[in-house]
Protein backbone atom coordinates (compact mmCIF):
# COMPACT_ATOMS: atom_id res chain seq x y z
CA UNK A 1 0.00 0.00 0.00
CA UNK A 2 2.80 2.41 0.81
CA UNK A 3 4.21 4.58 -1.95
CA UNK A 4 6.46 6.85 0.11
CA UNK A 5 8.76 5.92 2.98
CA UNK A 6 7.72 7.66 6.20
CA UNK A 7 8.09 4.54 8.31
CA UNK A 8 9.10 6.38 11.46
CA UNK A 9 6.36 9.01 11.26
CA UNK A 10 2.99 8.99 12.99
CA UNK A 11 -0.28 10.74 12.12
CA UNK A 12 -3.21 11.20 14.50
CA UNK A 13 -6.55 12.05 12.90
CA UNK A 14 -9.40 13.02 15.19
CA UNK A 15 -12.87 11.97 14.15
CA UNK A 16 -11.54 9.24 11.88
CA UNK A 17 -13.53 6.27 13.14
CA UNK A 18 -16.58 6.79 10.92
CA UNK A 19 -16.36 6.52 7.12
CA UNK A 20 -16.27 10.26 6.70
CA UNK A 21 -13.62 12.88 5.93
CA UNK A 22 -11.27 11.93 8.77
CA UNK A 23 -11.30 8.30 7.69
CA UNK A 24 -10.36 9.29 4.12
CA UNK A 25 -7.53 11.42 5.51
CA UNK A 26 -6.23 8.46 7.51
CA UNK A 27 -6.24 6.28 4.38
CA UNK A 28 -4.40 8.92 2.36
CA UNK A 29 -1.68 9.40 4.96
CA UNK A 30 -1.32 5.64 5.29
CA UNK A 31 -0.47 5.46 1.59
CA UNK A 32 2.29 7.98 2.28
CA UNK A 33 3.88 5.63 4.80
CA UNK A 34 2.57 7.09 8.06
CA UNK A 35 1.60 4.98 11.03
CA UNK A 36 -2.01 5.88 11.82
CA UNK A 37 -3.58 6.75 15.17
CA UNK A 38 -7.34 6.75 14.65
CA UNK A 39 -9.41 8.76 17.10
CA UNK A 40 -13.08 8.09 17.74
CA UNK A 41 -15.65 9.06 20.35
CA UNK A 42 -18.58 6.66 19.91
CA UNK A 43 -17.72 4.83 16.66
CA UNK A 44 -15.71 2.02 18.25
CA UNK A 45 -16.70 -0.74 15.83
CA UNK A 46 -16.06 1.33 12.71
CA UNK A 47 -12.67 2.38 14.10
CA UNK A 48 -11.83 -1.25 14.85
CA UNK A 49 -12.70 -2.25 11.30
CA UNK A 50 -10.50 0.49 9.87
CA UNK A 51 -7.57 -0.53 12.06
CA UNK A 52 -7.98 -4.12 10.91
CA UNK A 53 -8.09 -3.06 7.26
CA UNK A 54 -5.01 -0.86 7.57
CA UNK A 55 -3.11 -3.56 9.45
CA UNK A 56 -3.89 -6.07 6.70
CA UNK A 57 -2.37 -3.60 4.23
CA UNK A 58 0.87 -3.42 6.21
CA UNK A 59 0.17 -0.15 8.02
CA UNK A 60 0.90 0.33 11.72
CA UNK A 61 -2.45 1.45 13.14
CA UNK A 62 -4.30 1.72 16.43
CA UNK A 63 -7.53 3.34 17.62
CA UNK A 64 -8.01 5.56 20.67
CA UNK A 65 -11.24 6.82 22.24
CA UNK A 66 -11.81 10.30 23.66
CA UNK A 67 -14.35 13.11 23.87
CA UNK A 68 -12.32 16.01 22.45
CA UNK A 69 -14.41 18.49 24.47
CA UNK A 70 -13.00 17.00 27.70
CA UNK A 71 -9.49 18.22 28.53
CA UNK A 72 -8.60 15.18 30.63
CA UNK A 73 -9.68 12.84 27.83
CA UNK A 74 -7.68 14.83 25.28
CA UNK A 75 -4.60 14.53 27.49
CA UNK A 76 -5.20 10.79 27.73
CA UNK A 77 -5.64 10.51 23.95
CA UNK A 78 -2.22 12.01 23.31
CA UNK A 79 -0.54 10.14 26.16
CA UNK A 80 -1.84 6.85 24.76
CA UNK A 81 -0.78 7.78 21.25
CA UNK A 82 2.75 8.60 22.39
CA UNK A 83 2.93 5.49 24.54
CA UNK A 84 1.93 3.31 21.58
CA UNK A 85 3.85 5.01 18.75
CA UNK A 86 6.59 7.00 20.49
CA UNK A 87 6.14 10.26 18.58
CA UNK A 88 3.66 12.46 16.69
CA UNK A 89 4.38 14.09 13.33
CA UNK A 90 0.98 14.98 11.88
CA UNK A 91 -2.34 15.80 13.53
CA UNK A 92 -5.58 16.49 11.64
CA UNK A 93 -8.67 17.74 13.47
CA UNK A 94 -11.62 16.15 11.67
CA UNK A 95 -13.74 15.56 14.79
CA UNK A 96 -16.88 17.70 14.61
CA UNK A 97 -20.59 17.84 15.34
CA UNK A 98 -23.23 19.66 13.38
CA UNK A 99 -26.91 19.98 14.06
CA UNK A 100 -29.60 21.49 11.89
CA UNK A 101 -31.60 23.79 14.19
CA UNK A 102 -33.93 26.63 13.18
CA UNK A 103 -33.00 29.86 14.91
CA UNK A 104 -36.31 29.90 16.81
CA UNK A 105 -35.47 26.55 18.42
CA UNK A 106 -31.79 27.17 19.14
CA UNK A 107 -30.85 26.86 22.82
CA UNK A 108 -27.77 27.80 24.80
CA UNK A 109 -27.09 24.08 25.28
CA UNK A 110 -27.06 23.57 21.48
CA UNK A 111 -24.53 26.37 21.09
CA UNK A 112 -22.32 25.16 23.93
CA UNK A 113 -22.18 21.61 22.55
CA UNK A 114 -21.05 22.74 19.12
CA UNK A 115 -18.49 25.15 20.54
CA UNK A 116 -17.27 22.49 22.99
CA UNK A 117 -16.52 19.98 20.23
CA UNK A 118 -15.81 22.11 17.17
CA UNK A 119 -13.94 25.03 18.74
CA UNK A 120 -12.68 23.99 22.16
CA UNK A 121 -11.98 20.43 20.99
CA UNK A 122 -9.91 21.72 18.09
CA UNK A 123 -7.94 24.06 20.34
CA UNK A 124 -7.30 21.45 23.03
CA UNK A 125 -6.05 18.90 20.47
CA UNK A 126 -3.93 21.43 18.59
CA UNK A 127 -2.39 22.78 21.78
CA UNK A 128 -1.44 19.31 22.98
CA UNK A 129 -0.16 18.15 19.59
CA UNK A 130 1.68 21.40 18.93
CA UNK A 131 3.58 21.35 22.20
CA UNK A 132 4.58 17.73 21.59
CA UNK A 133 5.80 18.63 18.11
CA UNK A 134 7.62 21.71 19.39
CA UNK A 135 9.68 19.39 21.57
CA UNK A 136 10.78 17.32 18.57
CA UNK A 137 13.69 18.66 16.48
CA UNK A 138 11.78 17.72 13.30
CA UNK A 139 8.70 19.58 14.50
CA UNK A 140 5.45 18.47 12.91
CA UNK A 141 2.34 19.51 10.99
CA UNK A 142 -1.17 20.31 12.16
CA UNK A 143 -4.11 20.60 9.76
CA UNK A 144 -7.40 21.91 11.09
CA UNK A 145 -10.75 21.48 9.35
CA UNK A 146 -13.04 24.49 9.09
CA UNK A 147 -15.92 25.11 6.66
CA UNK A 148 -16.18 27.27 3.55
CA UNK A 149 -19.69 28.42 4.50
CA UNK A 150 -18.57 30.47 7.48
CA UNK A 151 -17.99 33.17 4.82
CA UNK A 152 -21.46 32.75 3.29
CA UNK A 153 -23.61 30.90 5.82
CA UNK A 154 -26.92 29.31 4.93
CA UNK A 155 -29.95 28.98 7.25
CA UNK A 156 -30.49 26.66 10.22
CA UNK A 157 -26.84 26.12 11.24
CA UNK A 158 -26.08 29.29 13.24
CA UNK A 159 -24.39 27.49 16.15
CA UNK A 160 -22.36 25.23 13.86
CA UNK A 161 -21.12 28.08 11.65
CA UNK A 162 -20.26 30.22 14.66
CA UNK A 163 -18.21 27.37 16.13
CA UNK A 164 -16.45 26.66 12.83
CA UNK A 165 -15.87 30.37 12.16
CA UNK A 166 -13.27 30.37 14.94
CA UNK A 167 -11.11 27.72 13.25
CA UNK A 168 -9.24 30.00 10.78
CA UNK A 169 -8.36 32.39 13.61
CA UNK A 170 -7.20 29.50 15.81
CA UNK A 171 -5.11 28.21 12.91
CA UNK A 172 -3.30 31.52 12.42
CA UNK A 173 -2.77 31.98 16.17
CA UNK A 174 -1.34 28.51 16.54
CA UNK A 175 0.91 28.93 13.50
CA UNK A 176 2.44 31.98 15.17
CA UNK A 177 2.61 30.52 18.67
CA UNK A 178 4.15 27.19 17.69
CA UNK A 179 6.64 28.57 15.16
CA UNK A 180 8.10 30.70 17.94
CA UNK A 181 8.70 27.54 19.94
CA UNK A 182 9.96 25.50 16.99
CA UNK A 183 10.00 26.88 13.42
CA UNK A 184 9.60 23.32 12.12
CA UNK A 185 6.01 23.22 13.40
CA UNK A 186 3.45 24.31 10.78
CA UNK A 187 -0.30 24.83 11.16
CA UNK A 188 -2.76 25.14 8.27
CA UNK A 189 -6.50 24.85 7.71
CA UNK A 190 -8.76 23.31 5.08
CA UNK A 191 -12.20 24.79 4.37
CA UNK A 192 -14.25 22.01 2.73
CA UNK A 193 -17.22 22.67 0.51
CA UNK A 194 -19.86 20.08 -0.49
CA UNK A 195 -17.61 17.04 -0.18
CA UNK A 196 -19.96 15.08 2.10
CA UNK A 197 -23.30 16.78 2.52
CA UNK A 198 -25.35 16.29 5.72
CA UNK A 199 -27.83 13.43 5.56
CA UNK A 200 -30.73 15.68 6.53
CA UNK A 201 -30.53 17.89 3.43
CA UNK A 202 -33.45 17.72 1.00
CA UNK A 203 -32.84 16.90 -2.66
CA UNK A 204 -33.51 20.54 -3.48
CA UNK A 205 -30.84 21.62 -1.00
CA UNK A 206 -28.36 19.10 -2.41
CA UNK A 207 -29.01 20.34 -5.94
CA UNK A 208 -28.58 23.93 -4.75
CA UNK A 209 -25.25 23.16 -3.09
CA UNK A 210 -23.92 21.48 -6.22
CA UNK A 211 -25.27 24.18 -8.53
CA UNK A 212 -23.53 26.78 -6.39
CA UNK A 213 -20.08 25.43 -7.25
CA UNK A 214 -18.09 26.50 -10.28
CA UNK A 215 -17.46 22.83 -11.11
CA UNK A 216 -21.17 21.91 -10.95
CA UNK A 217 -20.57 18.71 -9.03
CA UNK A 218 -20.18 17.53 -5.48
CA UNK A 219 -16.75 16.70 -4.14
CA UNK A 220 -15.58 13.68 -2.19
CA UNK A 221 -13.84 13.22 1.18
CA UNK A 222 -10.78 12.17 -0.82
CA UNK A 223 -10.55 15.73 -2.19
CA UNK A 224 -9.98 16.95 1.36
CA UNK A 225 -7.52 14.12 1.99
CA UNK A 226 -5.47 15.14 -1.06
CA UNK A 227 -5.31 18.69 0.29
CA UNK A 228 -4.14 17.41 3.66
CA UNK A 229 -1.30 15.51 1.98
CA UNK A 230 -0.29 18.69 0.13
CA UNK A 231 -0.22 20.75 3.34
CA UNK A 232 1.75 18.04 5.13
CA UNK A 233 4.35 17.70 2.39
CA UNK A 234 4.85 21.33 1.34
CA UNK A 235 7.23 22.56 4.03
CA UNK A 236 6.95 26.25 3.14
CA UNK A 237 3.24 26.70 3.84
CA UNK A 238 1.92 27.72 7.25
CA UNK A 239 -0.92 29.81 8.60
CA UNK A 240 -2.94 29.25 5.40
CA UNK A 241 -6.67 28.49 5.05
CA UNK A 242 -7.26 26.51 1.86
CA UNK A 243 -10.79 26.17 0.41
CA UNK A 244 -11.54 22.77 -1.11
CA UNK A 245 -14.98 23.64 -2.34
CA UNK A 246 -15.19 23.45 -6.13
CA UNK A 247 -15.35 27.24 -6.24
CA UNK A 248 -18.41 27.31 -3.94
CA UNK A 249 -17.09 30.21 -1.88
CA UNK A 250 -16.85 32.56 -4.88
CA UNK A 251 -19.76 31.45 -7.04
CA UNK A 252 -23.51 31.09 -6.81
CA UNK A 253 -26.10 32.47 -4.45
CA UNK A 254 -27.38 29.35 -2.70
Active-site residues: which are they? Answer: 160
Dist. CA 228–CA 28, nearest whole Å: 9
Question: b/e map of 32-50 (b: 16 or more CB within 10 Å)?
Answer: bbbbbbbbbbebeebbeeb
Dist. CA 78–CA 66, nearest whole Å: 10
Burial (CB count <10 Å: 0-12, 13-18, 19+), residue 184: middle
Helical axes 167-181 vs 158-165, angle rounded to 10°: 20
Amino acid sequence: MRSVSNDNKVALITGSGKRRVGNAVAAALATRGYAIALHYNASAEEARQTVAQLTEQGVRAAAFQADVADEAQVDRLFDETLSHFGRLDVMVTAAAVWQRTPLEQLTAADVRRQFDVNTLGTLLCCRKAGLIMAGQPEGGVIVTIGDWATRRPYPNYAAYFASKGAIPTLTRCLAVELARRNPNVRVNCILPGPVMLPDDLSQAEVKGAVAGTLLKRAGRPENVAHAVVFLVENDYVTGVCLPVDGGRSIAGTE
